[in-house]
Chain A
Amino acid sequence: MSIHAVPARSFVTAGRIAVPVLLVAGWAAAAALTPEVATVGASLSAVAGAWADGTLRPDVADTLQAVIAGFALSAVMGIPFGVWAARRTYTYQVVEPLFSSTAAVPRIVLLPIFLSLFGITVNAKIAIAVSAAIVPIVLTSMAGTRTVNPTLIKLGRSLEMSRWTLLRRVIVPAALASIMSGLRIGFSLALLAVILSEFVAATSGIGLRIQSAYSLQQLPLMYGLVVLVVLVGLAGNLGIWFLERRAAR
């Protein structure tokens, strides 16, 4: 173990650095093979150019606004609801199947409903983001709360903890890991739903820009924006992951 630990760890680190390098190299190779794939440099400079001339900023701001608002609303409604629903077995048995079976519904089919209710506005995007993000958040909040050791709750009661203290000191800490994983899934699904809804109908947003770059055959911009969305998804998850690490301490 001790002999191998050091070289293995540096090997793993080197490997982890090599993965994104290989991915970019693969992209470059594909671009060299076919004109249908824009080159790495052209894609990045197309996005940088659109950012610098100010045309891209409102799109990025609108997409982020919808994703963050939808995600935050889902967390604020979904976590308390999930914890509440799971505290009583009966409520849990009633509610859990409703949420786990709606989890299977492709969320995009609800988009026309939101579009007809809110028009082609940011509110429609927020609504579709909530419909996507709230389900995993409720399900993981319930799952986390169900795993709380009943003995701990009895202990808390015998220590005459108030309901709030019990919640804050016993239930939420035990359910936290599960809730945080739900938040990460919820963020990804909110981003997915917003981008997809922007592909279908929007007045601004990164998804709309990708769609219009596709129809105008501005391939470098299109590839660059796709990479931008991937980075937004990774950054959001990394942010939640850091919060999780801090909260776990």
Chain B
Amino acid sequence: MSVLDLGGIRMSIRPALGRMPAWATRVVVVAALLTAWHLAVAGGLVSSLTVPAPLDCLRRLPGILGTAAFWSDAARSLRTTVEAFAAAAAIGVLAGALLTRLPVVARILEPYIVGAYAVPVVVFYPTFLVVFGLGTAPIVLTAFLMAVVPVLMTTMVALSELRPTHRKLARSLACTRWQAFRSILLPSALPLLLPGLKLGFVYAMAATVGVEFIVADAGLGFRIGELYRNFETVDMYVHILAMIAVAAGFNSLFNLLERVIRKDLA
């Protein structure tokens, strides 16, 4: 996102025109979408049996948030996501660091790592199911594989973009490789790593919820699928909206983290 931030330049080309702040317009846009949804249902454009009115969902929301089932589903999805993400972050960063020390190996693997982006990892899920059986292991493994690719790629890019001064500093302080990585290279690469970590988390969550949808006995993905199969439309929409809120919430959390870390380094 740093590329987008033209800072002062942006301000000078387009001076503020005395309009309302961007976030307020954003609220208006979202409100307009909700109104369109309401009108489509109220006007009979879509049957309220297939799509419930937004107000009905709102009325149902406290009931669902009050159930233990909702929170245990959310906790299950979150735990799987975090397990997969933690493994992907640790292994992705370490493997990326290792590969920058082995440039020939990195050059050999580069097209395959880039190509791994093109592979819909979720397709491996049935094979994991066959080998590891039912349970959370295949879900965690799928989510890990989804998440590790962006982490590995951004680590390689971030470490290769570090200024040579950093390495020289490490050498002149006679750091061991581990000290140099931990105390100099990692802190200076962290702001560049964050977008990759964020993408890794998003991918881990997408894979977790996606696989829960197919085969699982708990989790938000499983619950939404089950509510769909039981035609419990209002509850299903409430869960979908909750999932969107959770995902957007984590996105904001990563953005906040990014802002804090960048400020520290500035």
Write the residues of chain A forming the contact surface with B, with a CB cutoff of 8 angstroms: 8, 11-12, 15-16, 18-19, 34, 36-37, 88-90, 93-94, 96-98, 100-113, 115-117, 142-143, 146-147, 150, 184-185, 187-188, 191-192, 195-196, 199-200, 207, 210-211, 213-214, 219, 222-223, 226, 229-230, 233-234, 236-237
Contact present for A109 and B214 (CB under 8 Å) = no
Between A and B, 6 residue pairs with Cβ closer than 8 Å are A112-B224, A116-B51, A200-B214, A229-B120, A233-B118, A233-B119
Contact present for A102 and B244 (CB under 8 Å) = yes
| Interface secondary structure of A, over-half rule | helix
> Inside 8 A of A187's CB, which chain B residues have their CB?
118
A interface footprint on B101-144 (CB within 8 Å = 1, 0 otherwise): 00011011101100101111111111101110000000000000
Contact present for B236 and A214 (CB under 8 Å) = no
Contact present for B130 and A196 (CB under 8 Å) = no
Contact present for B14 and A90 (CB under 8 Å) = yes
Bound Cα distance A19, B108 (Å): 8
> Inside 8 A of B247's CB, which chain A residues have their CB?
101, 104-106
Tell me the residues in window 85-106 of chain B with beta carbons closer than 8 Å to chain A beta carbons: 104-105
> Inside 8 A of B120's CB, which chain A residues have their CB?
188, 191-192, 195-196, 229-230, 233
Give how many A-B residue pairs fall within 8 Å (CB-CB).
173
Contact present for B14 and A108 (CB under 8 Å) = no
Contact present for A16 and B108 (CB under 8 Å) = yes
> Inside 8 A of A226's CB, which chain B residues have their CB?
123-124, 126-127
Q: Is B209 an interface residue (CB 8 A)?
A: yes
Contact present for B22 and A90 (CB under 8 Å) = yes
Given contacts A37-B127, A226-B126, A230-B123, 7 further A-B pairs with CB under 8 A are: A18-B108, A19-B108, A102-B248, A104-B251, A184-B118, A210-B126, A214-B126
> Inside 8 A of B9's CB, which chain A residues have their CB?
150
Instruction: Output the least CB separation between A145 and chain B (Å).
Output: 10
Name B250's contact: one of A104, A110, A191 (CB within 8 Å).
Answer: A104
Bound Cα distance A50, B13 (Å): 60
Instruction: Output the least CB separation between A206 and chain B (Å).
Output: 9
Name B202's contact: one of A104, A143, A188, A195 (CB within 8 Å).
Answer: A104
- Chain B interface category by residue count: 35 or more
Contact present for A19 and B51 (CB under 8 Å) = no
On whether A195 and B209 interact (CB within 8 A), knowing A89-B10, A219-B130, the answer reads no
> Inside 8 A of B227's CB, which chain A residues have their CB?
112
Q: Is B188 an interface residue (CB 8 A)?
A: no
> Inside 8 A of A116's CB, which chain B residues have their CB?
50-51, 228, 233
Contact present for B3 and A147 (CB under 8 Å) = yes
Bound Cα distance A7, B185 (Å): 31
Report which residue of A109, A112, A210 has the largest number of chain B beta carbons within 10 angstroms of its beta carbon: A109
> Inside 8 A of A207's CB, which chain B residues have their CB?
123
Contact present for A237 and B118 (CB under 8 Å) = yes
Q: Is B240 an interface residue (CB 8 A)?
A: yes
Contact present for A109 and B243 (CB under 8 Å) = yes
Q: Is B205 an interface residue (CB 8 A)?
A: yes
Instruction: Output the least CB separation between B158 and chain A (Å).
Output: 17
The 10 closest A-B pairs by CB, nearest first: A15-B108, A237-B118, A93-B22, A192-B120, A112-B228, A106-B209, A104-B251, A101-B248, A104-B247, A106-B206
> Inside 8 A of A234's CB, which chain B residues have their CB?
115, 118-119
Report which residue of B9, B25, B46, B119 has the largest number of chain A beta carbons within 10 angstroms of its beta carbon: B119
